[in-house]
Amino acid sequence: MLLPKKVKHRKWHKPRRRNKGVATRMTTVAFGDFGFRSEDHGWVTSRQIEAARRVLTRYVRRGGKVWIRIFPDRPVTKKGAEVPMGGGKGSPDHYVATVKPGTVLFEIGGVPEDKAREAILLAGHKMPVKGKVAAKF
């Protein structure tokens, strides 16, 4: 699973979930021929990224290449089970990547269009955000 080697701050503030704005970077397919572009906001965990990566790599076999364009760098904290209220913030539990509408999450190249679209749709089922297949311009 993906996680940062070193972080400047162990615990981050939880943001206000206002769902504001669209992505201004990572919006085009840059490396491969096809990609998975998100259509809404959300947090994608490192486990979900790994599940989608497995689907893509198994589907393309040796013929193609897969690029992961997002990285989970935001720590999410969690308190232990049956811990009473108070006692401060919990310890970091897992890491997530913040995704806005228009962000390209994965790219795939070196495979025919029909196989690439099928693989991306299968990987999209593992994602917590809705998305669609994007082609290179």
pLDDT attached to residue 99: 95
pLDDT at 19 over 80: no
pLDDT attached to residue 49: 97
pLDDT at 17 over 80: no
Query: Any residues with CB less than 8 A from the CB of 103 and at least 6 apart, and which?
Result: 23, 26, 27, 37, 38, 69, 70
Q: How far apart, in whole angstroms, are the C-alpha atoms of residue 45 and residue 32?
A: 23
Start-end of H helices in the chain = 46-60, 113-124
At 78-117, the pLDDT tens digits run 999 999 999 999 999 999 999 999 999 999 999 999 999 9
Q: Cα–Cα distances in Å, from 17 out to 24, 27, 127, 130?
A: 19, 22, 19, 17
| Highest CATH level, class, for 34-77+93-135 | alpha beta
